[in-house]
Amino acid sequence: MMVMRYQLAYPETPIPIVGWFFKESGGIMLPENYNTLGAMHGTIMIFLGVVPLAVGAFGNYLVPLQIGAPDMAFPRLNASSYWSYFIGGVIMLASFFTPEGAARSGWTSYPPLSIFESGQTMWLCGMIFLITSSLLGSMNIIVTIVQLRAPGLTWYKLPFFIWTQLITSFLLVLAFPPLEAASILQLMDRLAGTSFFLPSGLVYAGNTVEAYGSGSPLLWQHLFWFLAHPEVYVLILPAIGIVGEIIANNTRKPLWGYKSMIYAISFLGFMSFIVWAHHMFLTGMGQTMSAFFQLTTMIISIPSVVVLTAFFLSLWGGSIRFNTPMLFALAFLPMFGIGGLTGLPLGVAASDIFLHDTYYVIGHFHYVVAPGTLFALFAGIYYWFPKVSGKKLHEGLGKLHFWPSLIFMNGVFMPMFIQGLAGLSRRMYDGGTQYAHASDILQWNEFMTISAFCLGAAQIPFILNIILTLAGKVTGERNPWNSTTIEWSAPSPPLPHINFDEEVKVYHDPYEYSVPGHEEDFCPQTKKLD
Amino acid sequence: MSSIPYILEERPDTGLNNSRLGIWIFIASEIMLFGGLFSAYVFLRFAAPEGDFDYWGSKLNVPMATFNTLMLITSSVTMIMSWASLKMRQFDKYKMYLGLTILCGIGFLVVKYFEYTSKFHHGIFPSTSTFMGIYFTLTGLHVLHIIGGLAVLIYFWGPVAKKMYDEDVELLANRIEVTGLYWHFVDLVWIFLFPILYLL
């Protein structure tokens, strides 16, 4: 990531420290190296980073705790999901060290190029393992939520985070298999010489391709985006869930519009299956198709706005505690808002024709996943760390982590909108120096690169915080945030394989904060009132 | 021992036990997997030159596939019978019916082997045409599913059958029921594959 940013700011100059990696060219990054880094950055961040963290780690850890269950429904399936992820991860990372090198066809792996470019076979094998891992994990989460809820925990008493995990898991179970199918087809194209994605009369690198032809590159794009659009919601829904928990806890009042939000995300989950071709307005698939997908895309923005509005209204009149998890959760709201709203011009075919494949798109989705999902994950780590380890992270270091992160995050991604609106294309290994029309906005490249390095440095307090806290003494405090949900009635850390030290029975809605007439300002779900 | 509830008994408000719900969700995702490939087939058929799929489709061996279809349907029936025998506590019948299911599955693979090798002898490979590509991909993936199913069936037929029957017959019946659901699904995939590849 840093290497890519350095390259964009200072193209055609030897790269310090990691220059030895590009020995043959005297430390200068070649276009194909940049392509490899770009493709693997996307793949690693999405399939090895955010999904395993948000669904694998947070989902697996918190789902049984928040529903008062002793364990996941299928422990062996859980283990096989993990090992499948591990193997997939090893294949992905090992591909850097093979003679062919890692994949370089972008994380989207569009054919026909991906059929010929080197490194793609390893990528596809790795993907098949990673997909299998996600499938197994999400099946487990669904069964756990449906079957293992504690007595008294009815559907509308579930914490919002559980609802987001449930919808996410359904998206994974139903959307990932078509990509697995597509990966198998692409593997066949590469290894068995089929031509599913190769049209007739194709010319590559000056030579006519010897294949049967009559396939279609569009087929891949349809299958790929059928996964990859729901995938966007897989990345954002758990984040929304985490933010919901933290906002309810730190405003000391129930989430505003809890049921509307559940309906909204269920509708969003359904709609996410019929918007995929808005990634394909420029493929010439026809006006009728474009009009349909443009309409569904506009419709799907409504539930996201419902959720965001409910979050903002939840803040209204609350006595907000500005601790580190809450700061990250609060920062999530405008950041995700920017990410979401900048998506609207991309969903309309007319404006997308101009903005497609520019840095505007990069800015848009990074706002959703980097300051959006990533901030929510940070918030979640600060919030649940006391439960996991029995020790609370240091607040001062947490704030030292938060403020620079917020500033530099915007420093990295905000200029991308400016560059994109000026027409700078993405995936340019030289950052656009070869284009005359880009010369006015190239100075931003250096600004973004410096911001990115500062952003990296801003993570030092976070790492330091975790190391220092882990070295400290266990307090074992059960409910340090005075929270209502079930996981806080378990010991910190929870007991292995049974989680709770007493039987869990649920009496209340998830967010009973500041109930009039109650002596404390919170009433845990497991507490029986007379 | 594990303290996970509803492994066998049904949860009152959902009316399901864990494994039954789990296998249905698994089948849902499998439907999406084959659904993706089937829609790829439709897409490619429309993209292909006129008559291309018909020409290559006529090279397939319909009698062999019909025989295979009958064999898989039989195996589904015997699968049910083996589960019913367990429920009636008839261990020998359980072994017999499950054994028949396994034999039918292996028979299917043998026929498929002869089909594949005769194609290879005639110089027909996945790369020969787009139809042959999708034919080998779809049936190959289906064969992998059969092999996976057979592995599970053999496991419950051979090494652990007696032990599980004596210790916890309901657990064994539950495992056979769930495996059976998967096996029926694999049959059903073939019921779709047979007409679109061989007959259409």
This prediction has a pTM of 0.94
pLDDT over 90 (residue A200) = no
Please answer whether residues A147 and B8 qualify as being in contact, where contact means their C-beta atoms are separated by less than 8 angstroms.
Answer: no
Q: Residues 154-183, chain A: which have Cβ within 8 Å of B?
A: 173-182
Question: In CATH terms, is domain B18-199 a member of 2.60.120.380?
Answer: no
User: Which chain A residue shows the shortest CA-CA distance from B37?
Assistant: A181
Tell me the two tokens of residue A463. 């790492």
**pLDDT for A268-280, tens place per residue?**
999 999 999 999 9
| Domain segments of chain B as ranges | 18-199
Q: How far apart are CA B54 and CA B45, in angstroms?
A: 10
User: Which chain B residue shows the shortest CA-CA distance from A154?
Assistant: B13
Average pLDDT on A346-363 reads 93
Between A and B, how many CB-CB pairs are < 8 A?
A: 136
* Exposure string over A410-441, b if 16+ CB within 10 A, otherwise e: bbbbbbbbebbbbbbebebbbbbeeeeebeeb
Q: Which one of B22, B37, B129 has the shortest CB-CB distance to A212? A: B129
Chain B closest-CA separation from residue A154 CA (Å)? 10
Q: Between chains, do B11 and A147 touch, taking CB under 8 Å as contact?
A: yes
Domain A31-428+459-489, CATH: 1.20.210.10
Q: What percent of chain A has pLDDT over 70?
A: 99
Q: What share of chain A is helix, strand, coil (3-state, %, to 5)?
A: 65, 0, 30
A212 touching B (Cβ < 8 Å): yes
Q: Between chains, do B36 and A173 touch, taking CB under 8 Å as contact?
A: no
pLDDT over 60 (residue A475) = yes
Average pLDDT on A3-15 reads 80
Q: How far apart are CA B7 and CA A528, in angstroms?
A: 29
Q: How far apart are CA A429 and CA A144, in angstroms?
A: 46
Q: How far is CA A112 from CA A202, A218, A284, A322, in A?
A: 9, 10, 16, 52
Tell me the two tokens of residue A175. 């959307």
**pLDDT for B39-90, tens place per residue?**
999 999 998 988 899 999 999 999 999 999 999 999 999 999 999 999 999 9
Q: Which one of B5, B22, B125 has the shortest CB-CB distance to A139? A: B22
The question of ipTM being above 0.85 is answered as yes
3-class DSSP state of A158: coil
Mutation pick from A197, A212, A497, A499 vs chain B, by most beta carbons of B within 10 Å, is A212
Please answer whether residues A257 and A310 qualify as being in contact, where contact means their C-beta atoms are separated by less than 8 angstroms.
Answer: yes
CA angle A49, A51, A52 (to 5 degrees): 70
**pLDDT for A24-76, tens place per residue?**
777 788 888 888 999 999 999 999 999 999 999 999 999 999 999 999 999 99
